[in-house]
């Protein structure tokens, strides 16, 4: 068997992220929306700059024609320079938000060890199956963590195989757990978390400022040219059609980015995230993270951004991924005729196909005797755990996707696949699964 080739971490990353520049830039799966946002910002800004340059050129032509230097075009230079500065800053904040690690929590390869042996025999509703390769290992779905004197429950993530840190959540779009998860923003194509939230707020606030700036000076341009149209505002608006389009565009856009800016000012002042605000409603109970308004703003902009927990350019060994069969609802596994060496923990002839410790401790003699057909023939006997670990099983989906199958005490049970599944399930004999 050939040795696995070393690869960069970003090349074998299990999330849905898009990497560029050798893993130095990390985007979400909807990275194309960044170019759309860039176009929506740069397009109107270029149109505004073109209009200002046309004004400057017109004033210069007028002054040269009359042989006098009135310097009436100088204020327009300041308008142009300020607009360019706001636009450039806005685009920089956009790429700083979308092109960096938002605070991705590294995944575990295996579930954490149970804190006590009692967890293995617990049948309380809070104990659930968490790993298809070790179905007899149980861990609590939630844990209690003390934060600022308050008890906060943290959830177990079945995808990342870890207990999420406080305020972290799993993004279904990027398929990552993110520290201090706020939301997944489609306009920047990235999750908003602890490492890019300051830049995200600067992006939306500078977008709001840019809208107000273009809106104001477009109106001033229309009022300035009223004299050319006989002091008629309507005729001046029709004569300066580009200014009118910019006024309408910025008026619509400011309701979105301006409202978002005001909302996030409220969130920062109360030390909440968008996810927490919509899910937990801290107005009904005390927020364990809330401090004074000044301290909350200081936490966002006067504290150092934590370093990334992942070195996406580090070298790792490419490994064969083993699918967890708990994700397949109500499956029938057609076992191959090859038997597995249970004592050594691997299939004969393979170099390394380890079996979990939970499987090694199981007693197979009782189940072996109960797996005969009614006539007692050996040919229809089901070989327990006879499928190789590396080989993908042949799957036949039964019934609906809300039900799954699990093996317990020699019987196959139908149980709810959701997190809050009940321990009361119907069952049918294990010999219904045939070779």
- The secondary element (H helix, E strand) that includes residue 109 is none
CA atoms within 13 A of residue 262's CA, in its CB half-sphere: 5
Query: Which residues on adjacent β-strands are paired with residue 176?
Result: 171
Q: What is the DSSP string of 276-290?
A: HHHHT-TTSS--TT-
What Rg do the C-alpha atoms of the chain give, in angstroms?
A: 31
- What angle do helix axes 241-270 and 197-224 make, rounded to 10 degrees? 150
What letter does residue 125 receive in the DSSP assignment? T
Strands (E), 313-408: 315-317, 331-333, 395-397, 403-408
Residue 302 a catalytic site member: no
Nearest Cα to Cα of residue 156 among 139, 181, 173, 174: 139
**Choice among 157, 174, 177, 185 that is catalytic:** 185
CB atoms within 10 A of CB 413: 16
8 Å CB contact between 316 and 12: yes
- State both tokens at 233: 């505002």
Just list the catalytic residues: 185
């Amino acid at each position: 068997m050939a040795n696995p080739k070393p690869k960069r971490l970003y090349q074998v990353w299990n999330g849905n992220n898009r990497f560029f520049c050798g893993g130095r830039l990390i985007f979400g799966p909807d990275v194309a929306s960044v170019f759309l946002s860039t176009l929506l910002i740069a397009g109107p800004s270029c149109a505004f700059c073109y209009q200002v340059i046309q004004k400057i050129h017109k004033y210069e032509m007028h002054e040269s024609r009359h042989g006098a230097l009135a310097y009436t075009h100088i204020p327009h230079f300041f308008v142009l320079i300020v607009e360019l500065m706001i636009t450039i800053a806005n685009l920089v904040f956009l790429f700083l938000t979308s092109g960096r690690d938002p605070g991705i929590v590294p995944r575990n390869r295996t579930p954490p060890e149970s804190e006590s042996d009692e967890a293995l025999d617990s049948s309380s509703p809070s104990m659930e199956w968490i790993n298809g390769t070790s179905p007899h290992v149980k861990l609590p779905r939630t844990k209690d963590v003390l934060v600022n004197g308050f008890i906060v429950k943290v959830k177990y993530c079945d995808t990342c195989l870890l207990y999420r840190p406080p305020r972290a959540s799993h993004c279904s779009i990027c398929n990552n757990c993110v520290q201090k998860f706020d939301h997944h923003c489609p306009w920047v194509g990235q999750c908003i978390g602890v490492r890019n939230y300051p830049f995200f707020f600067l992006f939306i606030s500078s977008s709001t400022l840019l809208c107000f700036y273009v809106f104001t000076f477009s109106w001033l341009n229309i009022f300035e040219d009223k004299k050319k149209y006989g002091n008629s505002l309507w005729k001046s608006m029709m004569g300066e059609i580009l200014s009118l389009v910019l006024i309408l565009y910025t008026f619509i856009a400011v309701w979105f980015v301006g409202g978002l800016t005001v909302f996030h000012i409220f969130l920062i002042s109360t030390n909440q995230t968008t996810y927490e605000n919509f899910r937990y409603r801290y107005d009904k109970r005390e927020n364990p993270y809330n401090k004074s308004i000044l301290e909350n703003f200081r936490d966002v902009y006067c504290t150092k951004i934590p370093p990334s927990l992942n070195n996406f350019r580090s070298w790792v060994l490419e490994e064969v991924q083993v699918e967890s069969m708990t994700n397949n609802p109500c499956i029938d596994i057609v076992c191959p005729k090859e038997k597995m060496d249970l004592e050594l923990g691997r299939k004969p002839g393979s170099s390394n196909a380890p079996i979990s410790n939970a499987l090694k401790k199981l007693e197979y003699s009782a189940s072996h005797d109960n797996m005969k057909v009614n006539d007692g023939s050996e040919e229809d006997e089901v070989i327990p755990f006879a499928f190789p670990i590396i080989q993908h099983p042949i799957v036949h989906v039964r019934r609906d996707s809300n039900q799954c199958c699990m093996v317990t005490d020699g019987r196959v049970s139908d149980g709810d696949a959701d997190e809050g599944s009940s321990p009361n399930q119907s069952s049918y004999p294990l010999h219904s699964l045939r070779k």
